[in-house]
Structure formats: structure tokens, C-alpha cells
Structure 1
Amino acid sequence: MKTTSYIKSSLLPYVTTLVFMFITCITSAQTVNSDQTQSNNEFKGIVLDSKTRTPLAYADININGTHIGTITNNEGEFLLKVPIVYMDKNIVVSILGYEKKEINISELKKDNNKILLDVSLTELSSINVYGAKNAEALVRATLNRKNENYYNEHAVMTAFYRETIKKRNRNASLSEAIIQINKQPYYNLKNDEISLIKSRKSTDYSRLDTLAIKLQGGPFSALYTDMVKYPEYIFDINNLSQYVFSFDTSTQINNRPVYVVNFKQSINNKQPLYYGKLYIDSETLALTSAVFNLNVEDKQLSSELFVRKKPRKVIVYPTEASYRVDYRTKNGKWYYGYGNIQLTFKVNWKNKLFNSVYTLNSEMAVTDWKLNDTSAYQGEKLKPNVILTEKTSGFADPKFWGEYNIIEPEKSIENAIKKINKKLERADS
């Protein structure tokens, strides 16, 4: 017997769907042939605060003059694969609130690189910026300038996507994929398309107790955090009155001053909406980054947003729904670079004393892209309701990704990968 259940929005939750399924079997990992490549040099390291030595998560690392890059994981670690033809170039390391740093690639070691960034704070006046006399006016001006600030050319983006599910603190499911995004111009109302290049997965249903959880939407969920391209999922000009905006302490990105705007839903609106921070370039009014959460205080309403279907004896509700989107800039224009979603759910079985807590994280980083090159778009086209774990047959060895740039796995995921590979080795012996 199988019962399914989903996470579902004009809000982002409606495009991020969770599937709850009674366990009837245990799946096994399968090997996939690895790619071999000698056209790249690989560099590993960590990005740290220069004073506190605190790891800096979500720092951008790009090869100067190219569209190739990666991003640090939650522990500040990175892995960057550099084509040999670019070995004479610099890498550029940047993150909100810190001074940008350039390093010649020839100075990097193969492993254990430590890149230190200095904090950079800038005080900005909160009035008379492009005529904006309050925070809401600034946000309106930002939304009105998307055609000027963002790429309005067709692009084919290569991206790395990772999706994990944990029960408590134990990894239960891991899926990774290389995808291509057929990115439409920002003025174009046509939705972006995604195709699957290669993927791998491993699911240990024994750790999920009696429920299996699958994410419906996969890479599309992370892509839809692009609130400039998809304002209907978060807010646009027409519904700003549902929110209250205020200025926070300003900061910098890429040595440019950035306004920080707080937002939250108005007290008169009882529907679950968002709260968080917008980071807006003070010179161009481009949105450079956004970090926000869904208000899940009302368990019933927030559960209705996420859950389409579930076993009758199970009560499911979110305790956290957090989102992040980062944009990168090249030649004065901005484009989507990174999206992250973290969802935490409590699952209560009726007539049971204890509940279960599941955390789902999906993230996607653009690692390369080409303008106006439709011939570069390839792979199997995915639908927005895709369940990635059902499109993937098994796991693979660490060299599976070949020349593609990926997000360095965190320690817990890395340990899970090592255990999977040991199982594969024993199965092959």
C-alpha cells in the first residue's frame, strides 16, 4: 500500500511540493560510469573572515573574465575546476558585507587554500535615492528597473543542483544533478526551461521510519526563488501594500554600497506571507540578494500551503520555510546565480507519543553560462512538477561529475557519500 502527499502557491510553497509515502521496500544504489577529464585543474579551499576566522557560506568564486564559477557551502568550503586555458587568470571572491578579493590562479594550491576576506561596512543615507523617500518607494523603484539592470538576452546556463532530506540530523536521501537552464530574458514573460544532463541519488528509507519523503518541483523550486524573474511567487508592484518595509544598516557587495531593506507582512493580513531582507545596489537599484522566510505561525494555514495529500493518520506542518537568492553581475548587468530552500516539517502520527522532524534542503548554483547560444541547450527536458529522485537510477563514484563545477559537499553529506561508495565497492568485490 502506498499513500502519497505533497508540498504546493502563488506563494513559493505551491511550487515546492513534498511527497509523503508509506514505505514498502528498500531501494539500493547502482553504479554509474564516471567521467574522465584532464582538461581542468581542481582547487579546494575555504573562505574565512580575516579577523574571526569564521567560515563564510555562500561566497561567490568566479574566474575573472568568464562565466565560470562556484559557491562556498555552509562550512565555507569550495571546489573550483579551472579549464587549463584559464590558468593565467584571476579568481574573484565576493560576498555581502566583505571586500572583494582577486587572486591569481597560479598562486593557488591544489588543496587547503585559505582565502581571508575583510569586513566592509558603509553608512548610507536612507532618503533621496533615485527619488525614494522611504523603504517601500525604494523597493518599487527596484522592481520598476528590472529591464535596465538584468540581462535581457537569452542565456543557456549550466547549474549544479543538490537536494537532501534528513530525519533529525541523519541524512536519509541525497540527490545531485547537473542541469541546463534555458534562461529567458528578464523582460520576457515566458518561463525558463530546465533539462537534465546527468544525476545521481541514494535513499536510505530505513532512516525515514515508515514514511518516504520526496520533493516535487526539484530544480524548479530553487529557480523560482529568482524573485526578479518570478515576482508573482513573492511580491510584485501590485501587492506591496501587504507588506511593511523599513531600512536596516547598509553593507557592501563587490566593494559597492548596498541598501538593506527589511520587510514583513502587515498586521492586518492574516494569511502566511514572507519576512526577510532585500539587498539593493545603491547606484543602480538592482536587487543583488534576498534572504527571507515564510510565516508559518499558523500551523493549519501554512500546512495547507504545502501539503496536498498525506496519509490520514498523519499530521504534517512546517516549522521553518527559508529561502535565499543571490545574483551575480557581469558587464554592468545582473543575472540569477544561486537559489536555496530549507524546509523543516514535524510529522505526528495519531496515537503516537513522539513526533518526527524532517529537514529538506535544495540548492542550485549557476556554474557557467552562454548568451544567445541555443545550440548549447541539451539533455532531457524536465517538467515543473518533476520528482528528481524518480528521474535518477542510482549513485556513482566521486569522479562522476568530471569537468563540471559543483558545490563542495558539507561534512555530513561528504560522510554519507563515502559510506555509499564503500557499499558500492563491497558490492563490486
Structure 2
Amino acid sequence: MKKIYFIVFFLGSIHLHSQIVLDSMTREPIQFAHITDEKGQGTTTNEVGKFSIDYFVESNNIEFSHLAYRKKNIKKNNLSKKDTIWLSPYIISLEEVFVRGETAKDIIIKAIKSIPQNIISNPFNLYGFYRESVQEDGKGAMLTEVSFMTYNEGDNNPQGYQAEIIQGRRTENHTKLNLDAVGGIATIVRNADMVRSKSRMFDIDNLSDYTFKYVGEIESRENPILIIGFSPSNDNIYNNNMGKIYIERETMAIVQIETQKDPEKIKAIVASSLEGKKSKNPVFILIEAKATIKYRKVHDKYFLSFVEVDNVRNGILGQESYRYSSNAKYILTRVEHISPKKLSTNYDVEEGFNKQVIAIPKLEGWNENNTMFFSEEERKILKDIRDLRN
């Protein structure tokens, strides 16, 4: 099995300076705001609104954007090492609205039909950063980080995304039932980009599986955003996605999806799958699952820019039982569509993703990464793992 080694990319940010993005009205941190430069290269803030200007070494201008806030452009030279960026919020109307006499389903159909004009049809590469963490009974048990590039042929490609890990690092797997992080970045990107694949709520032939309704609107003067809720329309336990879809009124581009599994249907699936079965191997039972998926415009087309997936599972082996909470984040840093590099996934997606990245023997050398700062929870996970080694 091929091991992916880490190199200086992860060791080049020992002393990072942090900036923070705050709501100008509430003074609260703005999590997962897009931060991009004039070339379309970028990152996002973390859960508490922090980012590092050190990431933008060769940039001249920095743009800060978020669906719920007015964009702000600042010359990089005007940013100090410990600056605070204030974004002004738009008004969000969280009540039923009506758009030109169209139903919520009409808007979804229009958005689906607008997908070809809003996404690129030619081959392209996405470059980015991926972090995955696991807690066992509330204690940190595993952490993995990689930089990567993906390749997509464009329209009508049955293979979807291929992913190549460029550099990576991980801790040892300290889960007692040896929970594997199966799939990794290739699986996350393929499953999350529902807009490009026109799957689930965006499969126009299966819209009858869902009920759509207006939830509200982000009242931006530049580009109002319609918020449409969706939920299963039938009792089929495998039809269990529910959440919100954010659509630009002018372009009909789908720019954000918030989705989760219906907890009652998850319980029914678990009961059905375990009925009358015994196993000598650990069984991992999904309890909760939710995701946030974002797109941003680069070179006048929309690309998958951010994904966060949270899962909660119960792990059972005989009389042993543990609760596992996993979090995975994907961040787009750069798009290449002029001269994309064709590639194939360079690891086995059926094997434990964490096993295919070389482990860091001394966690004391695991420094902050300037692509995305750790959240407080991720800091705790790393501390818990360090404590396990002592």
C-alpha cells in the first residue's frame, strides 16, 4: 500500500499571525467566510472567524465574502498582522416569500436547468486542503490533514472526480475499535458536488421524492438569495435528506446547501439492517449526519469551494460500546481550467484513508496550518492525542 508523505508544506507555518472576521452589528465571529485574492486563490475563516494573512504572500487585493454579508475588498498592504475585518450583514427574511408567482419547486427546476450555464463544461483541476478528525466518547482519537488536487473531465463524465494527495500527515489511530476514515477526499468531493452530478434534490427526474417550500430570502441589493427548504415527500426510509438550498435570484446558481439525514429514518434503517444479525467484527451504526456545501464563483463559473461533514456513530463489539464523532472539512484554494493536469486517484478509496498517509511520530512538531486554523475543538483533539502518548 502506497504511503503519502508529508513535506515542508506543513512545517512552514510555525509562527502564524491571525486575523479575524466579525459581524459589524453583533460583533460575533463569521465562520467559513470566503477569502480570495485577485487570482481566485483563497481559503476560508475557521469556526471562530480566524484566518492568516500569511497565506496570501503573493497577493495584492483580498476579498471577503459570505452569503449573508456585504462583500469587502481590501488591499493586502493595508492589512496589519492582527487586524479585524468587519462585514456588514444583509437582512435575512425568514418567512415565506413568493417569487413572480412561481412555486418553490418551479425555482428548483429553473436552478437545475441553469446548471450548465453556471458550471464549467471543460476539464479542470481543483486544489485544496482537507482535514478530518475523530473523537471517541468525547476524546480526540485521530486527526488527518492533506493538501490535494482533483481532476474532472467536465460534463457527462461517468467517473466524476479523481483525487491526488500531494502532501499529508496524520496522527496514529487511537480508536479502540479501529474505526477507519474510509474514502477521504475523493469520496467527499464526489458525494458533495451534487450540483455538478445533478443528484439527489437536483435529479430532475426524481423531484417527486421531495417537498420544496420557500423558507426566506437574503435581501442583498447586488444579488438576492432565495432560501428553499426540502424534505422527503414519502415514507421510504432511504429517502432521508432534508435541509435548505440557497439560490441566487439573478443567475439561478445554487450557491449553498445545508443538508442532514432525517433522524427517525436513520433509526429505521439501523433497525432494519441489524435485525437478527450478529457479527464478530465491530459494527458502526450511524446516528446523525449533516453537511454544509458551498460554491463560489471563479472565472465566472461556480466551483465546489467548501464542504463540512459531521457524522455521529455508535461503535459496538460484543459488550463494548463507544460513541464516535467525526468531522471532515474540504477547502478550495485554487482552480486550474486553462491547462488542467489529468490524473487518477493515488490511493485506495476502499481502504482506510488515514492509513495511507504517513503518521507523525512526534506530535510536538504538529504546527498550525495557515490554510485553515484549528477550531478550539480540533486543538482539544490534538491535545487529547498528545496526552494519550504520554
The question of a shared fold, defined as TM-score above 0.5 by the shorter chain, is answered with yes
1:77 Cα shift? Answer: 1.8
User: In the TM superposition, what is the alpha-carbon distance from 1:188 to its structure 2 partner?
Assistant: 4.3
Partner of 1:212: 178
SS of the residue aligned with 1:99? strand
- Structure 2 gaps, min length 5: none
Distance in 1, Cα, partners of 2:120 & 2:248: 16
Q: CA RMSD in A?
A: 3.4
Aligned residues: 377
1:305-363 residue CA offsets vs partner (Å, 9 max, x unmatched): 89xx99447664222100121000134321111112110012345556xx431111111
Give the match for residue 362 of structure 1.
328
CA spacing shift, 1:212–1:83, aligned 2, 3 Å: same
Q: CA–CA distance in 2 between the matches of 1:246 and 1:362?
A: 29
CA contact (8 A) 2:91 2:220 kept: no
Pick aligned residue for 2:26 from 52, 62, 65:
52
| Partner SS for 2:154 | coil
Report the CA distance shift for 1:114/1:303 in structure 2 as closer, same or farther (over 3 A).
Answer: farther
Task: Check if 1:296 corresponds to 2:263.
Answer: yes
Please tell me whether the aligned partners of residues 177 and 197 of structure 1 are also in contact (alpha carbons under 8 angstroms). Answer: yes
Mapping 1:251-400, distance limit 5 Å = 251=218, 255-298=222-265, 299-302=267-270, 311-312=279-280, 316-348=284-316, 350-351=318-319, 355-375=321-341, 381-395=346-360, 397-398=365-366
CA distance in 1, matches of 2:74, 2:169: 33
Q: Deviations over 1:222-247 (max 9, x none)?
A: 21211112233554111110110000
Structure 2 partner of 1:4: none
Residue 136 of structure 1 and its aligned partner are, at CA, apart by: 0.8
The letter of the residue matching 1:92 is E
- 8 Å Cα contact 2:140-2:382 kept in structure 1: no
Q: Equivalent pairs: percent with the same residue?
A: 22
Counterpart of 2:62 in structure 1 is 91
Equivalent residue number for residue 79 of structure 2: 108
Could you tell me whether the CA contact under 8 Å between 2:129 and 2:146 is conserved in 1?
yes
Quick check: 1:159–1:365 contact (8 Å CA) kept in 2?
A: yes
Measured at CA, do residues 164 and 311 of structure 1 come closer, stay the same or move farther in structure 2, by a change above 3 Å? farther
Counterpart in 2 of 1:66? Answer: 39
SS of 2:196's partner is: coil
Q: Which residue of 2 aligns with 1:410?
A: 375
Opposite residue 143 of structure 2, the aligned amino acid is L
Preserved contact between residue 61 and residue 76 of structure 2 (Cα < 8 Å): yes
* 1:42-75 residue CA offsets vs partner (Å, 9 max, x unmatched): 6522222222222221111111x21211112222
Preserved CA contact (<8 Å) 1:94 1:254: no
CA contact (8 A) 2:139 2:384 kept: no
- Structure-2 change in CA distance of 1:163 and 1:146 (3 Å): same
Whole-angstrom CA distance in 1 between matches of 2:332 and 2:9: 20
Q: What is the CA–CA distance in structure 1 between the aligned matches of 2:111 and 2:376, rounded to whole Å? A: 38
Matches within 5 A, 1:240-251: 240-251=207-218
Q: Secondary structure at the match of 1:256?
A: coil
Q: CA deviation at 1:421?
A: 7.6
Cα distance change of structure 1 residues 313 and 187 upon mapping to structure 2, 3 Å threshold: closer
User: Counterpart of 1:28?
Assistant: none
Unaligned runs of 5+ in 1: 1-30
Deviations along 1:261-302, whole A, 9 cap, x unmatched? 000001443434200000000001110000000123132415
Q: CA deviation at 1:203?
A: 2.6
In structure 2, the CA distance between the partners of 1:73 and 1:311, relative to structure 1 (3 Å rule), is farther
2:99 alignment partner, one of 108, 127, 140: 127
Q: In structure 1, what is the equivalent of residue 125 of structure 2? A: 156
User: Relative to 1, partners in 2 of residues 1:140 and 1:347: Cα closer, same or farther, differing over 3 Å?
Assistant: same
Residue pair 1:47, 1:55 contacting (<8 A) in 2 also: yes
Separation (CA, whole Å) in 2 of partners of 1:230 and 1:160: 22
CA 155–56 in structure 1, closer or farther in 2 if over 3 Å, else same:
same
Report if the CA contact (8 A) 2:97-2:216 is conserved: no
Contact 2:43 2:331 in 1 (8 A): yes
Alpha-carbon spacing, 1:169–1:421, altered in 2? closer, same or farther (3 Å)? closer
